[in-house]
Structure 1
Amino acid sequence: MDLSTVATFSNDLLIYSSGSIPINTKELNLKQTLLGGQSFRWIEQNLNEFIGVLGSYIVRLQHQNDNLRYTFFTNNEDLIKYSNNNDRRVETALILHNYFQLTIKLSELFEKWCKSDVRFEKGQIPIGIRVLAQEPLENLISFICSSNNNVQRITKMIQALCNEYGKKIGTLNGIDYYQFPTLDELDKTDLEKRLRELSFGYRARYIQEAVKFMKYTVDGMCFFDQLRALSVEQARSQLLKIMGVGRKVADCILLMSLGKHDVVPVDTHIHSIAMTYYGQQLTTDNYDDISSFFEQLWQPLSGWAQAAAFSNELRLPTSPRNSIVLSLKRSISNTEIVTEKLFKTLDENNECQSIKITRKRSQTRQKKLLSIQQLSTRPKRNIKPIERY
């Protein structure tokens, strides 16, 4: 049955194009890709049926019988009036090819990752999760919102931003959909004030300053085109000039919007994976160590492997991240110094736990052991949390 036959949409919404793209589940796990913490514009309205916004279109996707079936909706009658069905089908198929980056053969990458990482080989990290090629302004603002946040709340914030400042496309199945606002639409003197009213908190100022930076300090959207031509280090240093953009946010933009496929962003989920499965320890001082470790382990296109590992971590009902509190005990290099460090992690209920790491040298074996002691569930205010989604 054609997807368009079961849609209920407003009078001003028209079917622009529909069709299908052959692709199997090894190349595309649609749900994990769309809802796995990369984009925040998609909802699963019915089982295996996803609706979101790409540019000026409302898009409905369904993966059936090794085919990605799609319908694009528009409110612009002229787009249909002055085009033909074949041209529209070619255009919309190309949009999806670019968005899902279908020229990259994921099954071939997976075979290579299996040789370097036993967790891929044993199926502990699922296949089919692709990196979405996202519009950079939307990606920038979305990941500014990701600071100390979760996927559900980020999704609500981005929806509120679009509803407030974006152009309405139409209503599909009782839900209004809006385009992501442009720089000009966001360039309002009261942007911060209004976003605070919409519960953006301290992120409201970061978004307003990012908009000002993009419009008045650099050359608007051309700024991102210029970054694509730079090295990872050069592009990252430019992104870090934007207020509210730290290392993780910059790396997410590099990976998902600027084509830097080997960049591995590190947040609490990747931090947890590193500590639990790979014997790595992440604090605010060694982001580079963890990122570099995975960039070398998961070659080629290590950022794509990270997306799979990250999305898989999100879907686990009980994440292994809390297991470090109970069981982690590993040898570390010999030293005379005894130190204690505090940092934060998340338990299976996504509640913050304050952890004390004590390093001390064993008198009998003359080497240090890492012991972990769980403290109060309320961390001290002077302990900076690791960034999380």
Structure 2
Amino acid sequence: MRLDLTLACGQSFRWRETAEGHWTGVMGGRVWTLTQTDDTLWFHVYANHQDGQKEGGDTKRRAGEKNVAESKRRKGAPWKEEEDSRAVTSEQNSDVEAEMLRDYFQLHVKLGDLYKEWGSADGHFKQIADIFTGVRMLRQDPTECLFSFICTSNNHISRIQGMVDRLCQSLGEPLCQLDQTSYYNFPTLSALADISVEARLRDLGFGYRARFLQQSAKQILDTHGLQWLEGLRRVPYPEARDALRTLPGVGTKVADCVCLMSLDKPEAVPVDTHVWQIAKRDYKYAANNGQKSLTDKLHKEIGDFFRKLWGPYAGWAHSVLFCADLKKFQSLKETTHPKPLKTRKEEDEKCKKSNLKREFDGDKTNLKTKSKCRKAQVSVQK
């Protein structure tokens, strides 16, 4: 598993890289910091305001895919980087928290085997797989997943993160404060359904999404009840998807995201214009080639195309390619597959025009870059 890809590819909007290789966020009503070594996922859980007086409230230990290390107890032990070699936790919570992480990252799924299957069936995936290894699907809380993805309509990841943060600050319960940053739990359905919520969220910049959030929460409580969303985990994928689509602001793509990322439907393939372009560009997908907009019919056809290609975990494979196409991760491709020297020389000429100066090292197979512009620094590796 790779935390940097899994937590930043648009599945969840609650995680930030707070130090190099360390990700802090909210999950299961707790604030966590996660980091990893080659075969181990390390975690630290912070005491919430309500239990901050409890002895040993902060916990730190590791959760592996095959086992969980034995723990030692240290009363009130602070988390220090140099303590990564041992597991520190409070006795009553350690097993519960390790199991929460196993469930959240679905560590029972043998991702390496799936990558091999997808690579055997799909040459394009095989090219991508060596760079974008370890992209896992999160198993999120259904309420948080649904209402976060209602915010994604006509939006991009960084702006969605800001909206979800404001939603939690406005309507969620406070958990703790770290380094001047306050963390909040995700709002309950009852908080989201309050009649005052729409106006409140419009004031916070949610626009038309404010009405969808309030009305969807109210419809769930009035028509189905508190346990309805979680109950959709136990029904077939088409039934769960169609049920979600009855909610205000929930179209086919959002419904598929919720099915895949919180309702145990690994065959769900969320299709938006981005995924449609991947299908046409990388798979020469030509069905309805004259279509100019995504219809429900086209959405299903593209989903069926990928389900036939990748099998029952098609949604997981889709997320690897989606991640690989995000602008924020393009540098990984450039580092792993550097451009040929001829191409780099052509780019060198362009850089000179932009007040950038490049210097060749001895054998002219590597390029070092020195920039006269503080705004731009280019590095090309062999």
TM-score by length of 2: 0.73
Are the equivalent residues in 1 in contact too, given 2:142–2:230 (CA < 8 A)? no
- Which residue of 1 is the match for residue 46 of structure 2? 73
- Which residue of 1 is the match for residue 160 of structure 2? 154
After superposing on structure 2, the runs of 4+ consecutive aligned residues of structure 1 that deviate more than 6 Å are none
TM alignment of 1:226-375, pairs within 5 A = 226-280=231-285, 281=289, 283-285=293-295, 286-314=298-326, 315-317=328-330
Q: Say how many residue pairs are matched.
A: 292
| Partner SS state of residue 50, structure 1 | strand
Aligned-partner residue type, residue 307 of structure 1: S
| Aligned-partner Cα distance in 1 for 2:127–2:28 | 38
| Aligned-partner Cα distance in 2 for 1:165–1:78 | 21
- For residues 325-352 of structure 1, the C-alpha deviation after alignment (integer angstroms, 9 at most, x for no partner) is xxxxxxxxxxxxxxxxxxxxxxxxxxxx
Are the equivalent residues in 1 in contact too, given 2:193–2:215 (CA < 8 A)? no
Are the equivalent residues in 2 in contact too, given 1:132–1:256 (CA < 8 A)? yes
Q: Show structure 2 runs of 5+ residues with no match.
A: 58-72, 74-89, 334-382
| Aligned-partner Cα distance in 1 for 2:46–2:211 | 34
Aligned-partner residue type, residue 228 of structure 1: R
Deviation at 1:87, TM superposition (A): 3.1
TM alignment of 1:9-24, pairs within 5 A = none
| Aligned-partner Cα distance in 1 for 2:10–2:264 | 18
| Aligned-partner Cα distance in 2 for 1:29–1:186 | 33
Given the alignment of the two structures, is residue 171 of structure 1 paired with residue 144 of structure 2, yes or no? no
Given the alignment of the two structures, is residue 130 of structure 1 paired with residue 151 of structure 2, yes or no? no
TM alignment of 1:27-38, pairs within 5 A = 28-38=1-11
Aligned-partner residue type, residue 152 of structure 1: S
When you count helix as a share of all residues, which structure comes out higher?
2
The answer to which of 65-74 and 137-146 deviates more is 65-74
| Aligned-partner Cα distance in 1 for 2:102–2:92 | 15
Given the alignment of the two structures, is residue 212 of structure 1 paired with residue 222 of structure 2, yes or no? no
TM alignment of 1:16-165, pairs within 5 A = 28-75=1-48, 76-77=50-51, 80=54, 85-123=90-128, 126-165=132-171
Higher relative contact order (CA 8 A, sep 6+): 1
When you count strand as a share of all residues, which structure comes out higher?
1
CA 1:300–1:217 in 2, change beyond 3 Å: closer, same or farther? closer
Aligned-partner residue type, residue 270 of structure 1: V
Aligned-partner residue type, residue 210 of structure 1: S
The answer to which of 297-306 and 200-209 deviates more is 297-306
- Which residue of 1 is the match for residue 356 of structure 2? none
Aligned-partner residue type, residue 105 of structure 1: K
| Partner SS state of residue 25, structure 2 | strand
Given the alignment of the two structures, is residue 225 of structure 1 paired with residue 230 of structure 2, yes or no? yes
| Aligned-partner Cα distance in 2 for 1:65–1:105 | 16
Aligned-partner residue type, residue 42 of structure 2: R
- For residues 183-212 of structure 1, the C-alpha deviation after alignment (integer angstroms, 9 at most, x for no partner) is 122232211111111000110110011111
- For residues 263-317 of structure 1, the C-alpha deviation after alignment (integer angstroms, 9 at most, x for no partner) is 1111122112111101125632311111111111112411110111111111344
Aligned-partner residue type, residue 107 of structure 2: L
Aligned-partner residue type, residue 235 of structure 2: L
| Aligned-partner Cα distance in 2 for 1:223–1:250 | 15
| Partner SS state of residue 86, structure 1 | coil
| Aligned-partner Cα distance in 2 for 1:65–1:317 | 23
- Which residue of 1 is the match for residue 67 of structure 2? none
| Partner SS state of residue 23, structure 2 | strand
| Aligned-partner Cα distance in 1 for 2:294–2:325 | 21
CA 1:261–1:86 in 2, change beyond 3 Å: closer, same or farther? same
- Which residue of 2 is the match for residue 362 of structure 1? none
